[in-house]
Amino acid sequence: MRPGELRGCDVRAALRCAPRKRGQAPPTTIDILVLGPPGCPPWSGTVALVPKPSGRGAHVCPACPICERAREVLRVRRLYGRPVLGCGDCLKFRTRRQVERTTASWRRSGGEKEDRFLRLLRRPDKTPELLEQARRLLLELLREDRARFGALAPEVDAMIEVLEPTGAAHSPRFPFMPNQQLVGPPRRRRRPRAGD
């Protein structure tokens, strides 16, 4: 269970553990307290349980308190200072993939791999295979970052050569030199007058 989320699998696990008399109908609501994400108070209240088609049958899912549709994940967000429980559509929650997948940084600068790496680390079942997968992904990210930096180095050197055509591209003062030029010479201090 992650703070700020109510997952259908956790609800089903809790229902399996709850004592029930023989022949008693399964509950249609659940009274629950969901911890908020950092900086958000917890949400408490009653959530309806509704059947959701799954394979050949159906399983029980919490219903979004706002749109009343069966949802596998509900989230707590702080709205106007109060915690609100709702589905991604109602709370306009978007994953990093949904926000960034059309950007160049996602496709060409390692954004997708970085997201995958962080998702792997957030998973509760950290098996040795999963950690090995994360390690390989991290090495791949570092290798690609170094290659991108290496490809940029001649362009950066050429730019500095234009700004300071004295072979200063390899000066130990880089990268502070361009800023020093922008700032200009230090101001003269006003000479103190009589009476100051």
CB of 77 to Zn ion, least distance (A): 12
Are the beta carbons of 135 and 121 closer than 8 angstroms? no
CB of 85 to Zn ion, least distance (A): 9
Residue 174 has a CB neighbour count (10 Å cut-off) of 14
Are the beta carbons of 3 and 36 closer than 8 angstroms? yes
- Please pick, from the candidates 1, 13, 14, 67, the single residue that binds Zn ion as defined by CB under 5 A: 67
Tell me how far apart the alpha carbons of residues 10 and 75 are, in angstroms, rounded to a whole number: 13
Are the beta carbons of 25 and 95 closer than 8 angstroms? no
Please report whether residue 66 would count as binding Zn ion according to CB under 5 A.
yes
- Please pick, from the candidates 49, 63, 64, 70, the single residue that binds Zn ion as defined by CB under 5 A: 64
CB of 2 to Zn ion, least distance (A): 19
H or E element, residue 177: helix 177-183
Binding mask 70-99 for Zn ion (x = CB under 5 A): ----------------xx--x---------
Q: Which residues bind Zn ion (CB under 5 A)?
A: 64, 66-67, 86-87, 90
